[in-house]
Amino acid sequence: MRKFIRRFLPSHEAVHSNRWLAPFANTLLHPRLWHLNRHSAAGAVAAGLFCGLIPGPFQMLGAALWCLVFRVNLPLALATTLYTNPLTIVPLYIAAFGIGQFVLGSGVEFIAPPAYDFRNPAGWMQAMSTWTYGLGKPLLVGLILLATMLAVVGYFTVKAAWRWHLIRNWRARRPRAGEDSTQAK
């Protein structure tokens, strides 16, 4: 599992040699931010899933801050935030609004989101933010609850998948180890 994930992550040396990151070298080059194990991967996925629902361009910044505080894998957390994009953000926000409306029992009417305008993405972003602010408190509460649920599910899913992968590898090695000992006699 570790080899599969490492193929997509930048190396520690690549970050160290980047001149733009030199002022932050002491903070960003902490070994725990780049180490990949079951705990750092699970924490990074949780950070990415939680921060992926932060509105606007602050998703990766939020994930990076989370990683600095909790010392989990930084590249994996940043990559995980990419689950939100122009195609997925509207359904996620609709789900968050529904959760918030259910929890608060609010009577705020749901208004359909603006259609994506390929000719004017900046105008669409402005229309999208106006739509988001119009939904108010149910959306805010729903976003926090949905982000928390996604983070918890992601954390435990990575932990379980990593454990399953280890157990499968142990079991695959066990018969080979038994064959080697019988051949030695």
Residue-wise pLDDT for 60-109, tens only, equals: 899 989 998 898 998 899 999 999 988 898 899 889 988 998 888 866 67
pTM: predicted TM-score of the whole model, two decimal places? 0.71
* CB neighbours of residue 146 within 10 Å: 21
Q: Which long-range contacts (CB under 8 A, 24 or more apart) does 175-180 make?
A: none
- pLDDT tens digits, one per residue of 6-59: 676 666 667 667 776 666 666 666 777 777 889 999 999 999 999 999 877 789
Tokens of 51: 């921060």
What's the Cα-to-Cα distance from 15 to each of 24, 61, 62, rounded to whole Å? 10, 17, 19
